[in-house]
Every structure is written in structure tokens, then in C-alpha cells.
Amino acid sequence: MVKEIERFGIPIVHMATITTISESVGANRIVPTVAIPHPVGNPKLAQEDEKVLRKELVKRALNALTTEVSGPTHFE
Amino acid sequence: MSEKFKVLYYVNQFFGQVGGEDKAGMAPLFCPEKVGPAAGFEGLLKGAGEVVGTVICGDNYFNENKERSLEFILNVIKEQAPQVVVAGPAFNAGRYGMACAELAKAVVDELKIPVVTGMYVENPGVDICKEKAIVIRTSDSAGGMRKALPTMAAIALKLGKGIELGSPEEEGYIPRGMRKTLFVEKRGSQRAVEMLIARLKGEPFQTEMPMPVFDQVNPAPAIKELGKATIALCTSGGIVPKGNPDGIQSASAQKWGKYDVSTREALSAPDFYTTHGGYDPVYANEIPDRVAPLDILKEFEKEGLIGKVYQWFYTTTGTGTAVSKAKEFGTQIGAELKAAEVDGVILTST
Amino acid sequence: MEGLSENKLVWRNKWGVDILKLEIGRIYIKDIQLGNETTVKNGILTVDKEGLITKLKEDERIKDVKIDVARPGEKVRIIPVKDVIEPRVKVSGGVNGFPGVTAKQAQCGDGVTHVLYGAAVVTVGDIVGFQEGVIDMWGEGARWTPFSKTFNLTVDINVVEGLTPHVHEETVRVAGLRAAEFVGTAGKDIKPDEVLAYEMGSIFEESAKYPNLPKVIYAEMMITQGLLHDTYIYGVNAQNILPALLHVNEELDGAVVSGNCVAACDKITTYQHQNNSVINDLYAQHGKEINFLGCIMVPEHTTLGGKLRASEYTLKLAKMLGADAVVISEEGYGNPDSDLLMICKKCEKAGIKTVLITDECAGRDGMSQPLADTAQEAVAVVSGGNVSHVVTLPPADKVIGNPEAIAVLAGGWKGALLEDGTLMCELNAVIGSTSEIGFHNVTCRLY
């Protein structure tokens, strides 16, 4: 899905936990996430801490979208 | 004796006995006779089928006027209403191969009529049509004609009678790339142990699954002004509105959904939940934004960090979903996002 | 002969005694009847229906239990199936039941175990998650599942209201194990029809015995990803373990229990753990073509760090044991494909030859890529078939459970159940159809 959307010339960031798969299938902007059942969250954290983490992850994704890349790139 | 099935034959100017390179610019024509390889073909159908005519077209003409050529030929096929279309064999002739391939693809896609053709494996036409048509494996020159025709005829015979084809090795065609599920005598663990022992002894063995090859896409240019950008949120984590109104499958998704989130602050429970069958849903069902962070994006929109969150949220389930389906979804969603002038996309996966 | 036993004595002095010696006595079961006592007579297993219900209802979380029998060839459909368990009884050595789960802790893989061979307990009941499946006992559907050939005692469990999904799952899982234990006792004093001996000394001992045979290890991946995605070893949720080395006998003797995980087609049910086909087929070659060292139980994590750690640790164990080759089996598909290939890549790079067993998500038309990930090192792969292959299962005369469940199962969809009772579904929903421990005889070929 990522690649097909990118083919339209729209930058797309893949937020995924198993980034090895993202790379294999050819995503270019990759933000590693927490865990498969809760990529953008962590139920083990206190509510406020989870919020900070979640904001941070989405910021990273936005940062990826505003960064030029030439091939598969991780934003950590 | 039941009625014979009809075969329409396609050849180029050379095999159509019009001429060589000097006639490669000829426009397609329909000839109600059996010309060139078509002449002997009927006999190979063992009385079960008849060749109703031959379409002859110049290789250069076809490749330079693909749409016009196809239009003409498809019309002829519609009129003649054959049960099977046979093209070539093209051996290693590139332009002839491309013509056979494009024709085969169009006939299968648009008219749903099966096509048999024949090519040398390195003919560029193979990759164009092998998923759609049956391409038999030929030698690289016309010297292989005598061997190719019976193979093509045997396949045409089966297609004409609606008999399922055997394996590529048995029937002599180039694999279409289809993974066919079937039963074998030995259980999987036994096959694994035998493969292992063969490997350890340095004896030949054959994998049952060649590794997939994924193509790459050039990265799209970055967003210049985030503060004015419209960002769309997509997920393969199966977050759907309560009741899963579009019935998105829990695994092996056959469709995607889009939902208006313009008036929402978050994808909060219980209005949303996950229908994804591939992971423990408890955490996503508590706070669906853990999978698709609409809440954070909306906050950033308020803060002015981003221009806007796109009105529609796109979703499907990734688990067990075929790559071809994912491609189809991506193409459909991408077209919508492009049309809506979305500047960037966040896609989350579980 | 004296020399041989002396030799053996020398080894024992040098390397210690045999570690585990397991004898599995198979009592062939030819039918199951419901009655007032639990016995085996002339191959007929009679189950005390009320006694079993009473036993299971000791768990206050269980509201209702329905017991039924489904025999091979009967036009019976069972849905939604959670787990399948083989009824057994411990005759000597160890403890009866599943140590750490339904029984106190004990060593599995030692002593004498009797098996009611040909019988199975099948747990059914309100759906907990999408990962449950269907068993057809006759016709087209029967071809696709290995559990159409067993005489199935179905245990349909209704739980009390208000249980969380995790507790609901545990209740049903444990009830199935208890039922198998209850039924298994019938075999305690019966003379088995066939006795299988599983005897394996220490790795040093076996390697001294077979110095020229290649050393082979089995890496069994297990889904360990939360609700309906867990596996238990001696009651320990494998989510929390580092890859663990098991003696080859342990899993065959009740050490590993399914948490009813992943899509029905490739979940390793408890029955399949008890009869792990990779272990059995490697065992059969032990001392002939290979030296079978043991099993590494590998958790499949939900984090990248977890996957990297588990794959590295597996490689390390294989290296420590001096393995020349490894058979790696997967459980599930999608993200675990990456675990499978990580282990494969690392082993191949370290010079350890691999054979992988997996299944494919090639789409309903079979035209898609079979795996979610790829690795050029994976040159020897066995395929259990395409999970999305669609099958049409004709209407049953009798349905045990709830046929409507297909609408929400993985591999099913709304409308998959036609009005006349015909079921259309992907193999995804058929228990054991694409087994990645190679328990069944389905595969894919390139067409």
C-alpha cells in the first residue's frame, strides 16, 4: 500500500514495528513503533507518559515527511 | 458428436505469408482462411475444434499503433466469437512477442476468452502476459515450430473443452506465477526432513517456495511547508467504526474503508474498534488511537504544526492480505489522495 | 554383547545416565460413545457425560457445557473450534495432566504414557476471537483438516457473563485440557495396541555414538503475541521467555500447550504439540541419517527488539550445541515471516544449513507474493499451502457449535454461510489445513 501511494508522488511515512518488513517491501520513510498490538502507544506507561511518547512518535513521522530521502530511511 | 469449439489465430506479417520486414508496417486484417501455422493447427485439435480464421498484422504497425490495432482485432474476435485465441508462437522475436502479449492481455482482460501463445523465455512479451495467457516455452527460433504447435494445440484443446490444465512441467508452459494449493502424498514435516537430508548430503533438492522479489519505488519529494500541509491518516491495523459497517474482513482483506473524521477529535472507543484478526486487540480496543493516532494529529492541527488533517481516514486489515490486494488498495487510495491534493500520508501498521 | 554393555557403562560413567526415556502406549480407539462411566472396551471409548460436565463445572467461570461426538465420515460440522487435545494418561513417571497448567510441576518426557489413539477432545463455544476454526468430518472439508480422521469428543463451553477476553480464553483452554485428562484416565489400565519408545541420551552421549552423523536441531517458533496468540511451556507463557532448549521428548509428552493462537489453518493445536510431526520425523532419522540434538522453542515477539533478540539467541544455542543444520517451523504468518527469515539468515551466515516450514498468503487467486518478507538465504522451504485458498464446504446434516461464527472468523466473511448451509471460506478458517509444522499434506506449486 505504501509504495502504491508513493507512486502518486505523495510522500508517505510507514509507522511500523517490524521495520525489517517495511524495508523488504520497499517503504522509503520508516518510523519504528512500539509493538504490533499498539504501534503508536504503550499501555504499560502512565497516561501522561504514554501521551508524551505518542506525540513524539507522530512528530517523528511528520519530520520524516518533511525530510528528503534517497532510499529506505529510518527515523528514530 | 458435440459441436466443435472455435479457435481464432493471430500471426504477424511474416508467418501470415504477406512478407518480411518490408511488410512489417501492414495494418491488421482478418482472413477467413487458415494461414501459416494456423493451417496445420486444426489437425492437431483432433477434430474437437476448428480454426475459424487468421488475423494478420505487421509487427511494426502493432507496436506503433497499439490501441488502433487492438480495437480492430478485438472487434474481429467479438464477431467471430471463438472459445480460444491462439497467437504466435513468437519465439525470440521481440516485436512479435510484444504484439502477441498485448493482444493476449487485452483478450483475457476485456473479452474473458483464454489465449495460448508461445515464446522463448527471454522474449520481453513473456512478462507482459504470462499471468493472463498460457505461454508455452519454445526455442529461440522458428526452427522450433514443429515442436511448439502440438504443445499449444494440446493446451488449446483443454482450454476449449474447459479442462483444467496440469502443471507447467507437464503441459510445457511458462509458470504464470500462480501459487496453486494442492495435496501431496507426504506430509510437510516429512518433506522438510527429506529436503534437509538431501541438503546435508549435497544432493539436489528443490525448494517449494522461491523467495518473493519486491520492487522499489522512488521516494516522493518531502513536504516543504508542514504548517500548510494536509496530512492523511491510513492504517492497516483494522480500526473501523463500531459495527464494522463495510464488513472489512478480519484477515485476508478484500476491501478497505474510509470514514469521515473531520468532526472528530480522536478515534475513541467505543465508537471505533479493531477488526484485525492478527494481533491481541485488547489495547487497540481500549484506545484505537494507539493504532491510528488521529488524536495527536488533531492536536498538531490545532497547534498549527500541520495545516490540516485530511477529512477521510482510510483503513483495512493487513493480516493475511495478499500483496496484490494491498497494491490494489494502495492504488485506489493513492488516486483519491492525489485528487484531493493531500500533501503527505501517515500509514500505520500493526 | 558383554562388550557392548560395557561400552554403554563406560559412556554412562563418563557422560552420566540416559536423560529421558519415554514410552508411549497407543490404545487404538475405534469409536466414542456417551454413557455413565469412562472406559475403553475393545477399542470403544465410553465417556461419562454427566461426570465430565460436573468436573468441568467445578470451574465457576463455566456456566454450561454440552458434550457431543463427531465421527469420521459423519456429515457433521464443528465450529468455532478453539483447540484440539489428545486424551492421554500418565501410567508411570511424571504426573498426570499438563504440568504447570492442570497439574503440579513435573518433568515431561519420562516414564510411560498411554494415549487414546484416534480420539481427540475438541473445544467449542462462544467465540473469543477471530482465530477459531472449522472441522468438517466428511467430504470436501474433511480432506483439508487432519482432525476429520479422529473420533472427536466435542466440549462446547459457555462461560458466565462479564469475563474479560483473556480470562474467557484461559477458561476455555483449561477446560479443554481438563476434559482430555478426564477422558484419558480410561486408558490407564488398558494394554496398549502399540508401544513407541523414545530414548535419547545426553547430547555428548549421542554425539559419541554417532560421531559421523550431522547434528540437527529443531527450532520451533511459537506465536506469543497476546490474546489468542500465546503458547505455554510447563504453564509459562512463552511471551516472557528467551528461546528455550527442550529435550526432544518433552513436547511429545504434554510440556507445551496451545493458547488457541493465530488463524485456525496454521495454529499449532495442543494435539499437534503432543504429536509434533517435525519432532517425530526427525526422531525417525536419529541414528540413521542425522543426530537429532533437541528443540529450541522460539517466541515470536511483537517488537523488533524482541525478534532480533530471539533470533540471535536461537543462533547462539544452535552454535553452542554444534548444530550443522536446523529445521525451523513458523506459527502464523505476516510479522512472524520476518522472525523466520531472521533466524534463517543468521544461521546460514554462520554456516548452519536451514530448512524452513511455512505457509503462504498468496491471495485468493494465488497470484500474490507468498511471504511478507524475503531473504535470499532461504533456499530450502517447505510450503503448507495458501491460507487464502477458497474452499466450498457443502451443508452439514448436523452442526456442533454455531455456524454463524464464520462471519467473524479469520478466513470467513459476512455472507460466507449460504442459505442452504454451504460454507465458503478461505483455508484460514479450517483447523490445521496449512500446518507449518508439516502436520498435513497440503502444499503450493508454481503454476
Any idea which residue has 475444434 for its cell?
B49
> Which pLDDT band, with edges at 50, 70 and 90, does C99 fall under?
very high
Residue B59 has pLDDT above 70, yes or no: yes
CB C224 within 8 A of CB C258: no
CA-wise closest residue to C201 among C10, C437, C354, C1 = C10
Residue C19: pLDDT band by 50, 70, 90 thresholds? confident
Of C324, C408, C438, the CB nearest to B189: C438
- Domain residue spans in chain C? 13-429
pLDDT digits (tens, 9 = 90+) for A40-61: 999 999 999 999 999 999 999 9
pLDDT confidence band for C3 (50 / 70 / 90): very low
What 8-state DSSP symbol labels residue B251? S
Contacts of B186 in chain C (CB under 8 A): 441
The answer, yes or no, to whether residue B244 has pLDDT greater than 70, is: yes
Three-class SS of residue A39? coil
Going by pLDDT thresholds of 50, 70 and 90, the confidence category of residue C8 is very low
pLDDT of residue B2: 63
B166: pLDDT strictly greater than 60 = yes
Q: Which residues touch A52 (CB under 8 Å, ≥6 apart)?
A: none
Residues of C in contact with A19 (CB under 8 A): 304
Q: Tell me which chain A residue has its CA closest to the CA of residue C374.
A: A24
Rounded percentage of chain C residues whose pLDDT exceeds 90 = 81
Domain boundaries along the sequence of chain B: 5-171, 226-348
Give chain C's mean pLDDT: 92
pTM over 0.90: no
Q: Do C302 and A36 touch (CB under 8 A)?
A: yes
Outline where B165-270 has alpha helix (H). 168-171, 188-201
pLDDT, tens digit (0-9, with 9 covering 90-100), for B21-34: 999 999 999 999 99
Q: Over 60: is that where the pLDDT of C336 sits?
A: yes
- Assess whether pLDDT exceeds 60 at residue C9: no
The grid cell for C288 is 540413521
Residue of B nearest to C265 (CA): B320
Band the pLDDT of C402: cuts 50, 70, 90. confident
pLDDT value, residue B252: 84
Q: How far apart are CA C379 and CA C360, in angstroms?
A: 16
Predicted pLDDT at C81: 94
The answer to whether C381 faces chain B, any CB pair under 8 Å, is yes
Query: For chain B, what percent of residues have pLDDT higher than 70?
Result: 99
Distance set, CA C110 to CA A1, C20, C248, C369 (Å): 51, 5, 11, 44
B187·C388 Cβ contact <8 A: no
Look at residue A20 and tell me whether its pLDDT is greater than 70: yes
Q: Which residues pair with B314 in a beta bridge?
A: B234, B258
Q: Grid coordinates representing A42? A: 504503550
CA distance A41 to chain C (A): 13
Whether C312 contacts chain A with CB within 8 A: no
Query: Using a CB-CB distance cutoff of 8 angstroms, which residues of chain A are in contact with residue C307?
Result: 18, 20
Residue C405 to chain B, least CA–CA distance (Å):
13
d(CA C214, CA B340): 62
Question: Average pLDDT over chain B, rounded to whole?
Answer: 94
State the pLDDT at residue C27: 98
- pLDDT of C204 over the 60 cut: yes
C269-312 pLDDT, tens digit per residue, is 999 999 999 999 999 999 999 999 999 999 999 899 999 999 99
| DSSP 3-state of C32 | strand
> Is a pLDDT exceeding 90 seen at residue C28?
yes
How many structural domains are present in chain A? Answer: 1
Residue in A18, A25, A32 nearest the CB of C335: A18
Cell of residue C111, nine digits: 516414564
The Cα of B109 is separated from the nearest Cα of chain A by a number of Å equal to 22
pLDDT at residue number B135: 97
Residue A32, domain extent: 2-72
Q: Which of A16, A41, A68 sits opposite B287 (nearest CB)?
A: A41
* Active site (catalytic) residues of C: 261
Cβ–Cβ contact A52 with B under 8 A: no
Closest Cα in chain C, distance from residue B81 (Å): 26
Mean pLDDT of C98-122: 96
Q: What is the mean pLDDT of residues C164-185?
A: 93
Mean pLDDT of C70-91: 97
Residue C73: closest CA among C398, C402, C442, C391: C398
Q: What is the ipTM of this complex?
A: 0.97
Which triple of cell numbers denotes residue C124?
A: 467449542
Residue B327 has pLDDT above 60, yes or no: yes
DSSP state of B347: E
> So what's the pLDDT on residue C6?
40
Q: What is the DSSP letter of C400?
A: E
Higher pLDDT, C126 or C391: C391
Instruction: Decide if C377 touches A, using CB distance below 8 A.
Output: no
User: What pLDDT score was predicted for residue C20?
Assistant: 87
In this predicted structure, the answer to whether residue C261 has a pLDDT above a threshold of 70 is no
Shortest Cα–Cα distance, C373 to chain A (Å):
5
Task: Tell me if A18 and C307 make a contact (CB, 8 A cut-off).
Answer: yes
- Report the pLDDT averaged over residues C107-128: 93
- Least Cα separation, residue A74 to chain C (angstroms): 13
Q: What is the pLDDT of residues B168-213, one digit of tens each?
A: 999 999 999 899 999 999 999 999 999 999 999 999 999 999 998 8
The residue among A18, A24, A74, A76 with the most chain C CBs within 10 A of its CB, best to mutate, is A18
- Strand-pair category, B344-348 with B230-235: parallel
The reported pLDDT for the residue numbered C17 is 54
B-contacting residues in C 298-317 (Cβ below 8 Å): 302
Kindly state whether C114 is in contact with chain B, defined as any CB-CB distance less than 8 angstroms: no
pLDDT tens digits along B80-97: 999 999 999 999 999 999
The identity of residue B295, as a single letter, is: D
The answer to whether C390 faces chain B, any CB pair under 8 Å, is no
Mutate to test the interface with A, among C304, C340, C368, C373 (most CBs of A within 10 A): C304
Peptide bond connecting B270 to the previous residue in cis, omega within 30 degrees of 0: yes
Q: Which CATH superfamily is domain B5-171 in?
A: Cobalamin-binding domain (3.40.50.280)
Q: How many residues does chain B have?
A: 350
Q: Which residue has the cell 478426564?
A: C182
**Cβ-nearest to A70 among B219, B331, B346:** B219
Question: What does the pLDDT read at residue C228?
Answer: 64
- Flag if B291 and A38 touch (Cβ within 8 Å): yes
Tell me whether strands B344-348 and A12-16 are parallel, antiparallel or unpaired.
parallel
Please state the rounded mean pLDDT for residues B299-308.
96
B226 and A26 within 8 Å at the Cβ level: the answer is no
For residues B84 and C107, give the distance between their C-alpha atoms in angstroms, rounded to a whole number: 66
Cβ separation A20–C307 shorter than 8 A: yes
Mean pLDDT over C26-52 rounds to: 98
Q: Chain C partners of A18 at a C-beta cutoff of 8 Å? A: 304, 307, 335, 338
Question: If DSSP codes are grouped into helix, strand and coil, which group holds residue B32?
Answer: coil
Residues of B in contact with C376 (CB under 8 A): 211
- Render pLDDT for C407-426 as a digit per residue (tens, 0 to 9): 877 787 877 888 898 999 99
The average pLDDT across C106-118 equals: 96
Residue C224: the pLDDT is 87
C10 bridge partner residues: none
Which whole number is the average pLDDT over A9-22? 93
Residue C54 has pLDDT above 50, yes or no: yes
The answer to whether B151 and B134 are in contact (CB under 8 A) is no
How many beta-carbon pairs below 8 A join chains A and C? Answer: 36
User: Considering only CB atoms, which chain C residues are within 8 Å of A35?
Assistant: 302-303
Regarding beta strands B115-119 and B134-137, do their DSSP bridges make them parallel or antiparallel, or are they unpaired?
parallel
pLDDT value, residue C381:
98
pLDDT in tens, B99-140: 999 999 999 999 999 999 999 999 999 999 999 999 999 999
Judged by DSSP in three states, C362 sits in coil
- What is the pLDDT, as a whole number, of residue B322? 80
pLDDT 10s digits, C138-170: 999 999 999 999 999 999 999 999 998 888 889
Q: Sign of the CA dihedral A40, A41, A47, A52?
A: negative
Minimal CA separation from B171 to chain A, in Å: 33
Least reliable range by pLDDT among B152-166, C38-52, C115-129, C429-443 = C115-129
Beta strands in C19-94 (DSSP E): 20-28, 31-35, 39-41, 44-48, 62-70, 76-85, 88-92
